[in-house]
Structure 1
Amino acid sequence: MTTAFPGGATINSTPERRVGRSALTIPWMQGSRSATAELVRLLPSREVASLLVDTYFDRVHWFILIFHQDDFRRNWEEMYKLSPQDLITKYPNPGFISTFLVVIAIALQYTGSHRQEILRNHNVAHSDLKERILSTIRVRLLDIVSLGSLEAVQTCVLLGTYYLYHGNPGLAWPVCGCGLRVAQALNLHRKLDTGDADTRSPEIQRLAETRKRCWWAIYEIETFCCMSYGYPHGIKDGDCDVELLDPLATSSGQSPATFDSTHQCPASLLSYKYLMSKLSVLVKDILTDIYKISHQGATQTNNMNSRNLQNLIRKVSRLDDRLRKWKQEIPGTLNPSTNAASYSSVEEMDYDIGASGPRFEQHIYQLQALSLELAYENARILLHRPLLSYRVIPRTDTENETSSPNPLHFSLSACRDAALHTSNLEESPIFLLAADTYAAAFIGIHTFTAGVMLCILTSIEPLSLQSHESKMGLRRLIKMQTHLKSRTESTLASQGLEILERLTRLVMEKELKEMLASNGFAQQIPQATAQRIECTSYGNVAHAPTQDQEQDHVAEFPESIENEEMFDFIQDPAMSQALLDFDQVLSGNDINIPLDPLFPDLAGPGNGSTQEQAWIWGMDKLQGFPGTE
């Protein structure tokens, strides 16, 4: 007995012992009977549980893939064979009860009218049951995490993502943090020694795959929160040696994919999670190398010079190349398609309970393709945004600018291209169905970011052809946000839509003033600054590459500015003004309608309730480049 010591447990003399004590569930004696009894009282009838489990795997599982479906279905059916008293006193895995309850609570969020009617026939009010489960899990969360089990990690991930995607991001961050700490205590971030492939049992191999699923779910949500809040990432990659998920893994086990290998196998339902995990590592590198938010004590410098600019450009170039290579790994099955969706309507999807077969599999592929495309375009905006704050100008004449590749112009084009590609997804048939899945808020966050980008680009280049194209893309994004709001009744969607509408009104007012101005833009700023801006006319920016060009890598990011000594750069006053206007809109100062601020701290990382990447537009990004020494 070593349960009183940190990391201690009662070690069973079972064949599983050789995989390490932290791979095992800590014994039942460390659980709380009162907590278990309270959770058991929330379990619905078998018929209701069956419906909600099917709903979870119809709407949620494809997006998060935190456990094996077969294992989960077998475990919950075994659990229902026991009486409530036996569950409290004899059940060998009390952690599963909390995981199961969070699963059905999330499923209750995605029951359509048909499934809600079935619940009413069983005397279940879906909203009341959901709130009772969530409130009880919150109260008993410390009892759950103290079990130190894989199920405790799964509970934290599911609960944290639910709060993140359903209007309570301030609670999501600490809950996911609990899951991360339990995962690290279980050594989920380390490769599990399962012995020789010829001698290891299928159970041990399946345990290893489940552990990897838990870890990469934790890593993905940690990166997403870091990207959303601007907080330091809680994981050091140097401490981790766990493999990526194998897209072809089965219950008998396959050799896992490595970080250096590429996806060269036929698409499977695991391909999405493999690709999203790999992208999460890349996004974390962007946050670390470009924004320095994972470096404790790192500060930004006011010493702007061409060397700092060159260093930043080189980093952006390397990461841009990695993003392009990642995009090339995506199998054709997981690329966005304009083909008709597998279901003709949300109602048809709601009637297909416990869906399976080729039709449902194609539906899942379409949803996963949509999510991958959104995540990729969002990463491009995140990567190139810092270079938008500056404009290169020649020190001698203006010819050098047009004859030399200009990375700053490329970043502007890349951000516009990413935002427009995001807006074009409005035409995808699967988008209308995705609002009724767990990815709805994920879509809303990324479309909001693209909308802000197009508002800013329209603001800094009014009355141009690019501005017209941006406004058309913004119109599509507003339609997407409106649809998400109508389907999800989400606070996040409604607030994002209102902010985009405010920004759009502000952009149109600026264009009207520009159109009616008699002396043009040059008289609105000091003459010396105007002369420098004329050297960097936005009309010189190349049109965004088409999707075919992007896939063929026609427009590649230039790593440096030729003849560096011939160039200088300035803060872009148009971008400064656009970000100031953005700040005013978020604070509700542009019109008299009150708006609870979504983003209370634009000057830096958020205070725990910041959402949707507002920190990347903060005015502090205009004060200098991240430290590059």
Structure 2
Amino acid sequence: MSLVAGAFELHNSATPDTSMTTAMPGGQDVQGASEGPPKPGIPQQQHRPGRIYSANPLLQQSRSVTAELLSLLPSREVAALLVDTYFDRVHWFMLIFHQQDFRMKWQLMYDASVDSTPGRNLNPGPVSTFLMVIAIALQYSGSHRQQILQKHNVDPTAMKENILSVIRSKLLDIVASQSIEAVQTCVLLGTYYLYHGSPNLAWPVCGCGLRVAQALRLHRRLPITSPLSPESQQLIETRKRCWWAIYEIETFCSISYGYPHGIVDADCNVELLDPLATSQGQSPASYNEVHMCPATLLSYKYLMSKLSVFLKDALTELYGIGCHKASDQKDRSLSARFENLLQKVRRLDGRLERWKAEIPGPLCFDRFSRASYASVEEIDRDIGASGPKFETHVYQLQALALALAYDNAKILIHRPLMAYREKLSHNHTPAALPHPSNNSSHLALTACRNAAMSTSHVGESPIFSLAAETYAAAYISIHTFTAGVLLCVLSSIESLTPESQESKLGLRRILSMQAKLKSESPCTLSAQGLDILERLTRLVMEKELKDLLGQGSDASLQSRRTEPGVQENWEASQQGQLDAQLGQIMEPTHEQIMPETLEDTDVSQALFDLDQALFNSDSQMPIDPIFSDPNGPSNVFTQEQAWIWGMEDPVEFNQEW
């Protein structure tokens, strides 16, 4: 269709209207020049902020959809309150809009809807995006703001459900507009479903957003032909914000469910976001460079986008997610496969530490820092918050989210090593044995435990209570749930040890955090996570009681502790030496004797026991297997990221699947 447009231009003739090309891929693009004056420095075919339909068979339908969406708009006073609520509670976590630009555009939309015939603007994208902002804000309006809404005769629950129902029913019409606003709508609707009890809807909705984003070439860098105007520069930054929001969601869903990632990095050359938001659409640092700059509101989004790229690589290298290459892993010995895995974990751990080093001071989490606001009620009354107090509050929220993301990444990359353990031969003399702290399976357990324990301490921070009523509440719940499952596993395989006691103390803090999220956040995920963790905790305590009474049937743990050098390994768990030790085990000296690698049946048995206990529970909470194949493996954990606790070799399993 680009050739068609070029041919008509060559002959100085008007291109055909889109009614002649609607059935052809790219047929809508031949009239790109009719969408408005070109933006300086950006080729016109790349600029499609919101498509305006020409006369075609969909004209009347588009007019009807837009008119129906416009009919859902609340009064201007209510809209102003809800826009403020969105930017107070949600924007710091999503950052897909330029705040000033959004505030100006919604006012213009109200002016247009009043002064003109409803539905005249046939692109439903901007209206649907604004309605999603309104719906999410209704979810996070506190008691003070709800009282204001009631004075305007607004039922927050009814209005929210009505908006969501209409947008869901009209989603295909919205994405058909292929506009940036359509991508934003999918981001908002998909994350809402992901964080509020309908995760199975989130995946396809976010997939729609990804496909529209790719159709708009948001994943590609725009060619710059001349100096950019402020409007063009803002357009480029908006495109980048939308793309990286999609990338983060795609990665998060891939981690949550073990689904293949839908983005091929080799196809993408768009830059990371500019934390300073001062350059002309160009990130000041490439992906592999360490970018140190003062903290800004965009620093958080830059760091999370960069972490998403890292996590996508970890999913591919460690779990085989999205890896289509044939592997010779099965033809290699267990020790060789273990060494290969160990190298990958070491490399990824180094990348994660370099990412952490980029976090600026104000975004480094400190659980002892005082919160800017004394209570949620104080925040609720600060409508349209701004200034140093609110800025500090936002930085603390973002620091909490970054800390959880870091700990979660640690668990993700070290968890595969827990499937192995190293057995030392009894004919080795003590002098010839490797240093106890160099046991790699012990290091994996230590790294995972330390990450989970770090997560358990997050609830001690005053900012945690304030974060429970933000859009990040479910995000926090997912990460604390993962840490809780890990501590249950560790408590089970380390029964009656000091480490088990430490893990149970961390688990108690996790349960307290989940209970607080359940009582204060509007999402249902926290309630389900708390229920599952409580049931797992009961199982762990029952197993420990049996071991205490000498009734346990699993003797493998005792044999593990009687192996030469392993008892000392179990007691060496100093976090300060962990990273150095992980590097040392990759370069053994000639005097060191590397142990034999075995599958860790203790971990497998613990996971199997936990899985069976949940599956055989009398609880009526619906728990569907992740895999529906009756002949294939199943895992009754339905909470996000629980798939990583499957007993099979992750890489082998995904290749077979």
Structure 1-normalised TM-score? 0.92
Partner of 1:266: 294
Partner deviation per Cα, 1:84-114 (whole Å, 9 max, x = no partner) = 5836343375311000000110111100111
Higher mean C-alpha deviation, range 395-404 or range 133-142: 395-404
Partner deviation per Cα, 1:41-79 (whole Å, 9 max, x = no partner) = 100000000000000000001001011111110100011
Which residue among 260, 265, 268 is the counterpart of 1:232?
260
Task: Tell me if the contact between 2:438 and 2:581 (Cα under 8 Å) persists in the aligned partners.
Answer: no
1:581/1:87 CA distance change after superposition, 3 Å: farther
Partner of 2:230: 202
Partner SS for 2:422: strand
For residues 584-599 of structure 1, the aligned pairs below 5 Å read 584-587=612-615, 589=616, 591-597=617-623, 599=625
Which 5+ residue runs of structure 2 have no aligned equivalent?
1-16
Which residue among 546, 549, 570 is the counterpart of 1:541?
570
Q: Distance in 2 between matches of 1:12 and 1:194?
A: 18
Partner SS for 2:116: helix
Q: Distance in 1 between matches of 2:25 and 2:583?
A: 50
Partner SS for 1:108: helix
Partner of 1:452: 485
Partner of 1:388: 418
Partner of 2:202: 172
Q: Does 1:6 align with 2:25?
A: yes
Letter paired with 2:152: H
Letter paired with 2:546: K
Give the length in aligned residue pairs: 617
Q: Distance in 2 between matches of 1:611 and 1:119?
A: 34
1:290/1:333 CA distance change after superposition, 3 Å: same
Q: Does 1:249 align with 2:273?
A: no
Partner of 1:312: 341
Partner deviation per Cα, 1:584-611 (whole Å, 9 max, x = no partner) = 2332x1x433331155439989999944
Q: Distance in 1 between matches of 2:65 and 2:572?
A: 60
Which 5+ residue runs of structure 1 have no aligned equivalent?
none
Which residue among 499, 507, 531 is the counterpart of 2:532?
499
Partner deviation per Cα, 1:221-269 (whole Å, 9 max, x = no partner) = 0000000010000001111000000000148666543212222110000
Task: Tell me if the contact between 2:487 and 2:506 (Cα under 8 Å) persists in the aligned partners.
Answer: yes
1:526/1:220 CA distance change after superposition, 3 Å: closer
1:329/1:556 CA distance change after superposition, 3 Å: farther
Q: Distance in 1 between matches of 2:99 and 2:395?
A: 17
Q: Does 1:65 align with 2:88?
A: no
User: Cα distance, 1:149 vs. partner?
Assistant: 0.3
1:557/1:381 CA distance change after superposition, 3 Å: farther
Q: Distance in 2 between matches of 1:408 and 1:420?
A: 18
Structure 2-normalised TM-score? 0.88
Q: Does 1:567 align with 2:595?
A: yes
Higher mean C-alpha deviation, range 26-35 or range 348-357: 26-35
1:28/1:570 CA distance change after superposition, 3 Å: same
User: Cα distance, 1:531 vs. partner?
Assistant: 6.9
Task: Tell me if the contact between 1:393 and 1:567 (Cα under 8 Å) persists in the aligned partners.
Answer: yes
Higher mean C-alpha deviation, range 484-493 or range 397-406: 397-406
Q: Distance in 2 between matches of 1:461 and 1:431?
A: 30
Partner SS for 2:596: strand
Task: Tell me if the contact between 2:32 and 2:44 (Cα under 8 Å) persists in the aligned partners.
Answer: no
Q: Does 1:19 align with 2:69?
A: no
- Greater C-alpha Rg: 2
Task: Tell me if the contact between 1:387 and 1:408 (Cα under 8 Å) persists in the aligned partners.
Answer: yes
Alpha-carbon RMSD: 2.8
Partner of 1:116: 146
Report 1 or 2 for greater relative contact order, CA contacts < 8 Å, sequence distance ≥ 6.
Answer: 1
User: Cα distance, 1:318 vs. partner?
Assistant: 0.3
Letter paired with 2:248: E
Letter paired with 1:503: L
Q: Does 1:191 align with 2:221?
A: yes
Which residue among 50, 54, 67 is the counterpart of 1:37?
67
Partner SS for 2:648: helix
1:622/1:239 CA distance change after superposition, 3 Å: closer
Partner deviation per Cα, 1:396-420 (whole Å, 9 max, x = no partner) = 4374243572222211110000000
For residues 290-301 of structure 1, the aligned pairs below 5 Å read 290-296=318-324, 301=330
1:530/1:23 CA distance change after superposition, 3 Å: same
Partner SS for 1:82: helix
Amino-acid identity (%): 58
Partner of 1:361: 391
1:149/1:308 CA distance change after superposition, 3 Å: same
Q: Distance in 1 between matches of 2:623 and 2:160?
A: 28
Q: Distance in 1 between matches of 2:319 and 2:70?
A: 46
Partner deviation per Cα, 1:540-564 (whole Å, 9 max, x = no partner) = 1365444x777xx555444537379
Partner deviation per Cα, 1:158-206 (whole Å, 9 max, x = no partner) = 100000000100000000000000000011001111234xx22111111
Q: Distance in 1 between matches of 2:635 and 2:126?
A: 33
1:20/1:282 CA distance change after superposition, 3 Å: farther
